[in-house]
Amino acid sequence: MAGSFDAFARKLGAFVALSATELDVLSRLHRRRRTFVAGRDLVHQGQSEQAAYILTSGWVCSYKSQPDGSRQIIDFQIPGDFLGLRSILLHTSDHGIEPIGKIEAAEVLRQDLLDAFAHTPRLATAVLWAASRDEAMVVEHLVGLGRRSASERMAHMLLELGARLALVGMGDKAGYDCPLTQYHLADALGLSAVHVNRVLRQLREEGLVTFQGGHVAFNDYTGLVALAEFDPTYLDQMGPLLD
Amino acid sequence: MAGSFDAFARKLGAFVALSATELDVLSRLHRRRRTFVAGRDLVHQGQSEQAAYILTSGWVCSYKSQPDGSRQIIDFQIPGDFLGLRSILLHTSDHGIEPIGKIEAAEVLRQDLLDAFAHTPRLATAVLWAASRDEAMVVEHLVGLGRRSASERMAHMLLELGARLALVGMGDKAGYDCPLTQYHLADALGLSAVHVNRVLRQLREEGLVTFQGGHVAFNDYTGLVALAEFDPTYLDQMGPLLD
């Protein structure tokens, strides 16, 4: 099982120092391993009786389809993220979740989660922390759409992804591997693909960041942070609040 | 104590049928009653060691200030809503919470909440449900800013508030009392106050909704729902999922 739940344990460990019992409960939540490929949603918008998942490898995006056929990407999820928590707590999933390439995830049934919470209440608090952190990210995206320019929005998203990936050991201030296309970025940032292309070229020409060949390279991390006014406090990665 | 925690119990009751023990724990979470007036924030953006609150009377707004002095309102909260859950779970509050007029709220310390979760794990799940529902609302606001026109956004927000107020017995399909100013609506919807004024006049002249003198009157509820393409499923008000 080594490696299979590392990212999730590592992430929750940022909030609570996990005991052996809690690690064991977490490990058991990873029993039902599933593989998904691009084009087949894990969670379907508007349907009930959905499962939740813990993503163990690969990236996914959560999105809402609009009646006119357009879609708004709410967020991207990376290994260690809980997927579809809202889908099992709300009667009907308010969003869809789509794999970006091939991914692996552990399926978590509502009852498994309730049992885990009953036996290890601190885990419930840790999952609530992760949900709060997810909401803080959605709030930042809301502020981005409401108040930031296209290049500030792009810079902010690339920095946020970098900080999140660093927490699970998949990136640093030099950069990270990133499977997103310009269409994903466009649907997340409320821009056209052409506009995304222009903004990325501009950021590259200013020597701030280069996104090419599936890799994001921070050429001037401090300059990019200044442009985006990126303050990572909301990602709450400063170490455990609970002993 | 009767009446003091009705709204919160009623709201959580939409997710879980509460036992006498759970109601008692909820009641005890309402011990520390506080009164706040407009202009004095309950929760301060960027500060740590913040308390959380359960709003018992009045309205508040949660917002993020931007470095340029503008602010984005994330959401409005009404009686029965949990305020600042993220402020006690994250090290530093990522947002501020401001009273709209005079309000009353019960202060909840982090330890009280952790104790309540340890003794009544179903309450933890109910609070996680409420947090999921709050996030579903923020996601709708994100979609609104990314994909909806000004009048659709306004219609959607007025309908959402009506549905939430109905859950706690403070509104129905005829309308509801509403203390918001055009400045609040502008900061929430990413519009100028002048634009808000124009949109409200247009909706009134089309016979859909009238917002005047602190009251929202739905003149044509079905027509407004059609304009906003409002589907209240994400508010998850269809009755308890847990027995």
Rounded CA separation B151/B153 (Å): 5
Nearest CB partner across the interface for B135, out of A86, A124, A190: A86
Q: Is the pLDDT of residue A232 over 90?
A: no
How does pLDDT run along chain B (243 residues), one tens digit per residue?
Answer: 334 568 888 888 888 888 899 889 888 888 899 999 998 888 888 877 778 899 999 999 999 988 778 889 999 999 999 998 877 777 788 889 999 999 999 999 888 888 888 888 788 888 888 888 888 899 999 999 888 999 999 999 999 999 999 989 999 999 999 999 999 999 999 999 999 999 999 999 999 999 999 999 999 999 999 999 998 888 877 666 555
Q: What is the pLDDT of residue B125?
A: 80
pLDDT score of A242: 53
Q: Choose the closest CB to B124 out of A117, A132, A138.
A: A117
The answer to whether residue A70 scores a pLDDT higher than 90 is: no
pLDDT of residue B226: 96
Q: Does A226 touch chain B (CB under 8 A)?
A: no
Residue B71: count of CB within 10 angstroms of its CB = 20
| Coil, helix or strand at residue B92 | strand
Which chain B residue is nearest to residue A227, measuring alpha carbons?
B67
Min Cα–Cα distance to chain B from A21, Å = 16
Decide if B117 and A131 are in contact by the 8 Å CB cutoff. no
For residues A3-16, one letter each, b for 16 or more C-beta atoms within 10 angstroms of the residue's C-beta and e for the rest, the string is ebbbbbbebbbbbb
Q: Nearest-CA distance from A162 to chain B in Å?
A: 19
Minimal CA separation from B202 to chain A, in Å: 23
- A116 in Cβ contact with A90 (< 8 Å): no
Tell me the pLDDT tens digit for each residue of B150-199.
999 999 999 999 999 998 999 999 999 999 999 999 999 999 999 999 99
C-alpha–C-alpha distance, residues A2 and A27, integer Å: 9
With beta carbons under 8 A apart, name residues in chain B contacting A136.
Answer: 86, 90, 94
Find the length of chain A: 243
Query: Touching check for B64 and chain A: CB below 8 Å?
Result: yes
Which residue among B90, B128, B190 places its CB closest to the CB of A133?
B90
* Residue given tokens 């929430």 in the structure block: B188
By the 8 A CB rule, do B242 and B15 touch? yes
Structure tokens given for A130? 């992760």
| Residues in CB range of B53: below 8 A, 6 or more apart | B34, B42, B43, B82, B83, B84, B97, B105, B106, B107, B108
Q: Which residues pair with B172 in a beta bridge?
A: B175
Place of tokens 């990236």: A59
Residue linked to tokens 């942070």: A225
**Using a CB-CB distance cutoff of 8 angstroms, which residues of chain A are in contact with residue B85?**
128, 132
Question: What span, in angstroms and rounded, lies between the C-alpha atoms of B155 and A128?
Answer: 31
- Chain A nearest CA to B237, separation (Å): 9
| B 105-164 → A contacts, CB under 8 A | 114, 117-118, 121-122, 124-125, 127-129, 131-136, 138-143, 145-147
Q: Write the CA distances from A184 to A134, B146, B180, integer angstroms.
A: 19, 14, 36
The answer to whether residue A64 neighbours chain B at the CB level (below 8 Å) is: yes
Q: Tell how strand B71-77 and strand B82-83 pair up.
A: unpaired
> Which residue is listed with tokens 């500060």?
B47
Chain B hits for A242, Cβ within 8 Å:
114
- CA nearest to B189 within chain A: A146
Task: Quickly list DSSP for A100-159.
Answer: EEEEEEEEE-HHHHHHHHHH-HHHHHHHHHHHHHHHHHHHHHHHHHHH--HHHHHHHHHH
Q: Residue A239: what pLDDT? A: 61
Contacts of A133 in chain B (CB under 8 A): 90
- Give pLDDT tens digits for B69-86: 888 999 999 999 999 887
Determine whether the interchain pair A234/B142 forms a contact, defined as Cβ–Cβ distance below 8 Å: no
- CB-based contact B228:B156 (threshold 8 Å): yes
pLDDT at B53: 92
Chain B residues touching residue A94 (CB < 8 angstroms): 136, 139-140, 233-234
Q: Is the pLDDT of residue A158 over 50?
A: yes
Give me the pLDDT at residue B1, please: 36
Closest-CA residue of B relative to A124 is B124
| Structural domains of chain B sorted by starting position, each given as residue range(s) with its CATH number in brackets | 6-139 (2.60.120.10), 147-235 (1.10.10.10)
Are A74 and B142 within 8 A, CB to CB?
Answer: yes
Mean pLDDT for A204-208 is 98
Q: What is the pLDDT of residue A180?
A: 97
Q: Which pLDDT band holds residue A1 (cuts at 50, 70, 90)?
A: very low
Cβ proximity of A55 and A101 under 8 Å: no
Q: Where are the beta strands (DSSP E) in B66-203?
A: 71-77, 82-83, 96-108, 175-177
Measure Cα distances from A42 to A53, B137, B148 in Å.
8, 22, 26
CA distance A235 to A170: 16
> Rounded to an integer, what distance in angstroms lies between the CA atom of residue B31 and that of residue B29?
6
Grade residue A3 by pLDDT with cuts at 50, 70 and 90: very low
Average pLDDT, chain A: 88
Chain A residues close to B118, C-beta within 8 Å: 121
Q: Is B240 on the interface with A (CB under 8 A)?
A: no
pLDDT, residue A8, reads 87
CA distance A79 to chain B (A): 21
pLDDT of residue B2: 37
CA of A56 to nearest chain B CA: how many angstroms apart? 22
Shortest distance, CA A184 to any CA of chain B (angstroms) = 14
The two tokens of residue A44 are 């379907």
Test the A interface: residue of B62, B89, B160 with most A CBs within 10 Å = B89
